[in-house]
Amino acid sequence: MRVARIWAWITFGIGAAYFFIPLIATLEFSMRMRRGEYSFDAYRIVLGDERFQATFGYSVVVAIFTILLGVLVVVPTAYWIRLRMPQLRPIVEFITLLPLIIPAIVIVFGYIRMYGSNSPLPFLGSARGTDVLLIIGYATLALPYMYRAVDTGLRTIDVRTLTEAAQILGAGWATIIARIILPNVLIAVLSGAFLTFAIVIGEFTMASLLNRPAFGPYLQNIGANRAYEPAALAVIAFAITWGCMSVIQILSRFAPRSASAPAN
């Protein structure tokens, strides 16, 4: 057993080295901008860059709309599947897994060919339409994660009883979903939302091919033209991802474990 423990420490140590060295190297590199001393110049330049603020702001707005769209598509469906149409579950689960099978670049390629300005649905005819298409594309990318998060959340509440109770009190479907189901799976939805945010904020392929001024293409552009700023941006991006994952972990502590322990 002692030998096993030594091996376990060695494995863990090598793994930790592989994962921490790039982080340390990036941090160190990002502070090398001023000759001969460490400074936060690269960060100051990046954060003060107008294009950084504009593209980051754009991506945050797109991420928020993506989350809203994702919730709007996923929550009623997952709820309805659980309540009324469990026979559809395998089909819906398969569809939500499709974005893992079809690469993002292929999906967006399809959009470009199908929704061009001459098509019946000319999303790409205007900048606003292209924004909408980008949000839709991101919602499909996030679909596997959002659906799983919401479905796990629904598993912990007694959907049927809550629905019946609400119906007896005269609630309609919209009221039930918005005021009964959604609050009860809010923690699961928020987990899915933060994961969506982490995926969407720096996404490159779709934004670049749809020519939208998002954070991902900006990152790529800086990477091709600057020396120290990319490292600073990588540190910022890692911090954002870390922040999203931490929020998800904190949220999971508040999540109800089973239907017998209702979430109130």
Span 73-132, contacts to other proteins by CB under 8 A: 73-74, 76-77, 80-81, 84-85, 88, 92, 95, 97-114
Nearest to 202 by CA among 214, 210, 211: 214
Interface mask (CB under 8 A) for other proteins, residues 187-226, using x and -? --------x--xx--xxxx---x------x--xx--xx--
Instruction: Identify whether the C-beta of residue 228 lies closer than 8 Å to the C-beta of residue 42.
Output: yes
- Binding status of residue 52 toward other proteins by CB under 8 A: no
- Binding status of residue 174 toward other proteins by CB under 8 A: no
The only residue of 127, 164, 169, 179 in contact with other proteins, by rule CB under 8 A: 164
Instruction: Identify whether the C-beta of residue 129 lies closer than 8 Å to the C-beta of residue 123.
Output: yes
- Binding status of residue 238 toward other proteins by CB under 8 A: yes
Helices 229-254 and 41-48: crossing angle in degrees, nearest 10, is: 80
Q: Which is nearer to other proteins, 186 or 226 (CB)?
A: 226
The C-alpha atoms of residue 159 and residue 58 are separated, in whole angstroms, by: 37
Least gap, CB of 230 to other proteins (angstroms):
4
**Residues 6+ positions from 97 with CB-CB distance below 8 Å:** 144
Least gap, CB of 43 to other proteins (angstroms):
14
Instruction: Identify whether the C-beta of residue 83 lies closer than 8 Å to the C-beta of residue 151.
Output: no
- Residue list 141-160, contact with other proteins (CB under 8 A): 143, 160
